[in-house]
Amino acid sequence: DQQVKQNSPSLSVQEGRISILNCDYTNSMFDYFLWYKKYPAEGPTFLISISSIKDKNEDGRFTVFLNKSAKHLSLHIVPSQPGDSAVYFCAASGGTSYGKLTFGQGTILTVHP
Amino acid sequence: DGGITQSPKYLFRKEGQNVTLSCEQNLNHDAMYWYRQDPGQGLRLIYYSQIVNDFQKGDIAEGYSVSREKKESFPLTVTSAQKNPTAFYLCATAQRNTEAFFGQGTRLTVV
């Protein structure tokens, strides 16, 4: 049973425009959510996170929004750059063990120059 | 410099053999994790350890074994009981209330 879902396998965006990546979850015990960026044959790198007590967290070009009632979060990248092209994973955890993560399937983002 | 080292980067195994993947960290993190990634899928948790000499099964532990004799090291053994071992294996570490950091991964192929 897929507790974290990223329903869009891929997203294509023009450079300078906004990229919006979406993620849905089903487990109400999740209280911390993270986004990771991953290149092929490399480990994921942490991008941004949000606690369930917040509904928005911003870090430079990256903003994560959390809608607890809908069990939905999204990652906004503005403006998008070609270097942002990668696979983006949404992940969730419960409690304080932030390494014990449940991942979505990933979304391949391609930013065209 | 601090980080997580996984070795080897590529590993080939004959059917019926056990192989051990290495994961070493110098971040002084208490917790260590092993994940597996298959093509087109997210990462799935195999085993994790929050303190030395203790570890717990994750979602897909069957066919795998681990040990945690030192804080810095968390090796993963893929046994012959693992039916589909070909995958990309990732080791991660975390400290309480911090995000997980990942190594560069080991790609295991059964030949």
Averaged pLDDT in 10-residue chunks for chain B of 111 residues: 88 92 96 94 94 95 97 96 93 89 95 87
**A61 neighbors A77 (Cβ within 8 angstroms):** yes
- B48 to chain A: which residues are within 8 Å by CB? 99-100
Q: Is the pLDDT of residue A46 over 90?
A: yes
Q: Is the pLDDT of residue A8 over 90?
A: yes
- A101 to chain B: which residues are within 8 Å by CB? 43, 45, 100
Distance (Å, rounded) from C-alpha A30 to C-alpha A101? 10
pLDDT value, residue A98: 74
Query: What distance in Å separates residue A61's CA from the closest CA in chain B?
Result: 19
Distance (Å, rounded) from C-alpha A109 to C-alpha A90? 13
Distance (Å, rounded) from C-alpha B107 to C-alpha B86? 8
Average pLDDT score over chain A:
95
Q: Is B60 on the interface with A (CB under 8 A)?
A: no
A84 φ, ψ (degrees, to nearest 5): -80, -10
pLDDT value, residue A50: 95
Say which residues have a Cβ less than 8 Å from residue B39's Cβ, sequence separation at least 6.
none
Q: Do B96 and A46 touch (CB under 8 A)?
A: no
